[in-house]
Structure 1
Amino acid sequence: MQDLTLVMAQLDPLVGDIPGNADRAIEAVREARLEHKADVVVFPELFLTGYPPEDLLLRPSMETRLAAARERMAEKVARDVMVIIGYPGRREDGYFNLAGVLYNGEWLGEYAKQSLPNYLVFDEHRYFTPGDAPLVIEHGGARLGILICEDLWDGAPVRRARDAGADILVTLNASPYHRDKPAERLSLFADRAREVQRPVVYANQVGGQDELVFDGGSLVVDAAGELQVRAPHWQAGLMPVRFLGEAQGWRPEAGEIEPLLDAEESLYCALVTGVRDYVNKSGFKGVVLGLSGGIDSALSLAIAVDALGPDRVQAVMMPYHYTADISREDAAEQARRLGVHYEVLPIVSMVEAADETLAQSFAGAPQDTTEENLQSRCRGVLLMAISNKKGLMVLTTGNKSEMAVGYATLYGDMVGGYNALKDVYKTWVYRLATWRNAQEPVIPERVITRPPSAELAPDQQDSDSLPGYDVLDAILERYIEGDMSAEAIIDAGFDREAVYKVVKLVDRNEYKRRQAPVGVRVTSRGFGRDRRYPIVNRWQPGE
């Protein structure tokens, strides 16, 4: 009986760092050979450039840099182990998303991705030419059929690999996370394995890149679609699987199977990963955020501390006349519990100075949201000054529900470099805060239980301007993720006036979202890469 040890290199490349990514690969192969006696090591999609490289792919020097990296790998990679690694490449008949096969200092072949996704966050038709042929490589008696990410979702390239004689399907992936996706993947891969009666290897990237986060979870299913190995989610590492060559085919030996995380833990890990990698990869010393005593900033602070540690996080309370005493108390208490640097910077004098300066210009006009926005913009000025002086990135704290309907102030609470909660609905903010407190009570309980308020006017509550968040989020999910019309949402049982109010607010505030910081994408339809609507248009929301 033959056997073959394959190692899935679930790693976090840095986009654009081609020499560094090559060195990471060389070291990973050395470790896989030493610790796991690897025969084959599989890396994620486009590993040498990092994913997604976007318009870096159009740079004239890309091919030169990749050629140098591949030459270095051929010289330095451990012998007697086959390496399958992703990178782009310009060849005679096009520009391709490739998987290269390296063995004993020679590049034996390249597979070109056949199915190029061009939906949601994916834009591969902008860059690549689709491949049109399978690639099956024999090693250690096993015939490995190579695939890249969307090929597995499509299905046709899977059948072509089987028909070309593949015993094991090996897939390189850079599959972004969104809620419920780990379970979706497992179901799909099991179906594919059963369809072609071949085991499937799924090696995925881990880590954050701008708004995208990759959860890892590399896995192997057998020819019957049964899960045999799964790597941890949200952790970089090497995951081995041993294949046994038997009369009826190659069978993956049962190994470590990490359980799926529950919904709240998985989402919380995604947010921590996004913040950590954006701050670290961008080279910031840490973050500063406004801590208001409300639930959004409280959850954002907990995420920031879990991502970076308390020494790299500064929280600032910026009270005004309408800031409640309990908000001041709860902000101070949370800062104490988490051990962050905490300051109180009142904005009364700043707002009064702005009011005095604008008095003549505003003469005869009644007070309205303009005066409320001045408070928020004064806070933004202070946070950006701290950012400039200390080299800390401003972490904004608005959630998806607020961003959807424009319940945020341009150049005020929207000022900053990154937003952990940008794609998190308010109802999920409560779920995550409750989950985080169940691990350790870092958020004062009344922050979670008190009615939400922006505290920009006397006795103000969010419900004064918006439907209850249970209703609001249900409408928003149908309109944003489900692309349902207003009339279809009404037919689903929602109040007509509330639906039209919400969808009109969503459409009207596209201009704000275009100017908002990037943030972690955790739903199947985040603002930005996923949902690209014109700012000026005459589309009717009822259609």
Structure 2
Amino acid sequence: MTDRLKIAFAQMNQRVGDLEGNAAAMLDMRGRAAGADLLLCPELQLIGYPPEDLVLKPEFVRRAHECTDQLVAATTEPGPAILIGTPVAEGGAVYNAMILANEGRVLARTLKRELPNYGTFDEKRIFTPGPLPDPIEFMGVKIGVPICEDIWQEVVCAHLAEAGAEMLLVPNGSPYELDKDDKRYRLVRSRALETALPIAYLNRVGGQDELVFDGSSFIVHPDGERVVQMPDWDEALLIADWERTAQGWRCTTRETHQLDAFPEDVYKAMMVGLHDYVQRNGFPGVILGLSGGIDSALSAAIAVDALGPERVCSVMLPSRYTSHESLEDARECARLLGCRHDAVSIAPAVAAVGQMLPDMSGLAAENVQARLRMVALMALSNSGGQMLLTTGNKSEMSVGYATLYGDMAGGYSVLKDAYKSTVFALSRWRNANKPEGGLGPGGRVMPDNVITKPPTAELRPGQKDEDNLPPYSVLDRILEGLVDQEMSVGEVARATGEEVALVADIESKVLKSEYKRRQAPPGVKIGSRNFGRDRRYPISNFFHTAPALKTPR
């Protein structure tokens, strides 16, 4: 039995399905953790998280087993024992597991008991829950290894404590969302107080499709004191010293990192999500329509910070309704960002469609402009290979204020889960700050006029967004109630002080626009209820919460 341990915590990125690459990265971390007794890696580090239906493919699980065996065999080389996150298949079931390996052998394993099946998670679809886990004994120390969701329910940690666990090491795949770091700390603190055990919470970093993982790993003592805080967003390796005391095991290492606050955390999430999506899908860069408005300006800034100005191409696609002000704002925005900027008029194409469809007017004529812009942008995307970046925000997508096969077209949407009020906050912040690790310039990245002028689609003379929608300050409060909090029309009206008729109209717009959102590109999740992974509504839906609202049969 030892009275001292050196435990290495590997806050790592992953690539879903890249078994060999992920294994090599773990072995690299093991080499860097020389001198440590034990290395902890994040949940499902070998296969990447979330693996979704890859786990339902028998060949995938078979190859994961092979790669796990090879990884275990590689621990014959000098270095610490390693806790490996990997799937385990036996008896016709597949489990989410952590395997303890050292000196070429499997020393122990634990299976995830609590499988999350809400919001972005659907692990009950692909995994079988394990039994209540017992502690793993290592160097005479009983270590509890609750896996991610296991710590969110009281039963697993309580069982481990009753079974004699002396500390809890928690591997996670916990996606970022607003205020998630505070929520995690409150949860872990409560488990530490309940079990009277120190807890190390290890999380992964990086983007995976619509999810982004912020790391922010930490260690707390039984009294709830946070003694170690690892950085957010970046890979990191921490070798922490642990000592047995009269009161139990304690971490004697101290490390502090300041975590990003709003809105910087949202901006970083968008950067990381876009960067990893573009890199992992093999695009040389991105192309986007730069209209002179705030949404496209912010999207361009995030792209430049994530990828570098040389990998971002902006295009202004003016029509007869595009103002000189918008032309100048778009040009200046590209200049400030240092990215390429072209102008391609859609006027000839609009005229040609007008000859084809002479009776076209109103909304149809407006939407043709948006769709012709998409045709031009997709042609440029195909020509240069860059991914088309969509620039719409959550406020617009909520109420359908977007053109299907027009401005909704593209491969990724960084603002998909950002309400317009958040867009304003992010733009003001970026004009005053350069994000750490950002590849764009310091100073302003968009003209102040882009932030202050009234938003407009410029699809008809004198058009403003507020011609069709309430002010965004009002709209966003209503949408947060209806979408994020799943409140009824009456509840939202009471909470916001807005008229029931207005809230009911917004609810109707939200429900009627579901068919559009089903065809929208993916985008990074930042809130608690994003469209796609979190909120899944039927397209054909006759349930409304507005009082006495009649729906057609």
Structure 1: how far apart are the matches of 2:371 and 2:22? 41
CA contact (8 A) 1:44 1:172 kept: yes
CA contact (8 A) 2:192 2:220 kept: yes
CA contact (8 A) 1:142 1:250 kept: no
* Match in the other structure for 1:537: 541
Q: Which runs of 4+ in 1 moved over 6 A?
A: none
* Match in the other structure for 2:476: 473
Q: Which moved more, 1:82-91 or 1:213-222?
A: 82-91
* Match in the other structure for 1:39: 37
Alignment of 1:42-191 (within 5 A): 42-77=40-75, 78-92=77-91, 94-191=93-190
Q: 1:149, CA displacement in angstroms?
A: 0.3
CA contact (8 A) 1:134 1:164 kept: no
2:469 alignment partner AA: L
Structure 2: how far apart are the matches of 1:398 and 1:280? 22
* Match in the other structure for 1:411: 405
Deviation per CA, 1:242-268: give whole Å up to 9, x if none: 111112210012421112211111110
CA contact (8 A) 1:504 1:541 kept: no
Deviation per CA, 1:171-223: give whole Å up to 9, x if none: 11000111110111011111110111101011101000000000001111111
Structure 2: how far apart are the matches of 1:112 and 1:542? 46
Partner-residue secondary structure (3-state), 1:84: strand
* Match in the other structure for 2:387: 393
Structure 2: how far apart are the matches of 1:484 and 1:404? 15
Q: 1:128, CA displacement in angstroms?
A: 1.2
Structure 1: how far apart are the matches of 2:275 and 2:545? 38
Q: 1:239, CA displacement in angstroms?
A: 2.0
Task: Work out whether 1:453 is the aligned partner of 2:452.
Answer: no
Residue ranges of structure 2 left out of the alignment (5+ in a row):
434-442, 548-553
Task: Work out whether 1:508 is the aligned partner of 2:512.
Answer: yes
Equivalent residue in structure 1 for 2:425, among 431, 445, 448 = 431
Q: Which moved more, 1:238-247 or 1:506-515?
A: 238-247
* Match in the other structure for 1:204: 203
* Match in the other structure for 2:19: 18
Number of positions where the alignment pairs a residue of Structure 1 with one of Structure 2: 535
* Match in the other structure for 1:489: 492
Task: Work out whether 1:28 is the aligned partner of 2:29.
Answer: yes
CA contact (8 A) 2:36 2:79 kept: no
Residue ranges of structure 1 left out of the alignment (5+ in a row):
none
Report the RMSD for the aligned CA atoms in angstroms.
Answer: 1.2
Structure 1: how far apart are the matches of 2:240 and 2:444? 39
CA contact (8 A) 1:217 1:234 kept: yes
Q: 1:133, CA displacement in angstroms?
A: 2.5
CA contact (8 A) 2:511 2:541 kept: no
Structure 1: how far apart are the matches of 2:305 and 2:391? 16
Q: Which moved more, 1:84-93 or 1:311-320?
A: 84-93
1:504 alignment partner AA: S
Structure 2: how far apart are the matches of 1:121 and 1:203? 19
Q: Which moved more, 1:304-313 or 1:135-144?
A: 135-144
CA contact (8 A) 1:81 1:104 kept: no
Q: 1:241, CA displacement in angstroms?
A: 1.8
* Match in the other structure for 2:439: none
Structure 2: how far apart are the matches of 1:208 and 1:272? 9
Q: 1:387, CA displacement in angstroms?
A: 1.0
Q: 1:93, CA displacement in angstroms?
A: 6.4
Structure 2: how far apart are the matches of 1:135 and 1:436? 48
Please report the TM-score for the alignment, with normalisation by the length of structure 2: 0.95
Q: 1:497, CA displacement in angstroms?
A: 2.1
* Match in the other structure for 2:396: 402
CA contact (8 A) 1:79 1:103 kept: no
Q: 1:521, CA displacement in angstroms?
A: 0.5
Structure 2: how far apart are the matches of 1:32 and 1:386? 47
Q: 1:79, CA displacement in angstroms?
A: 3.4
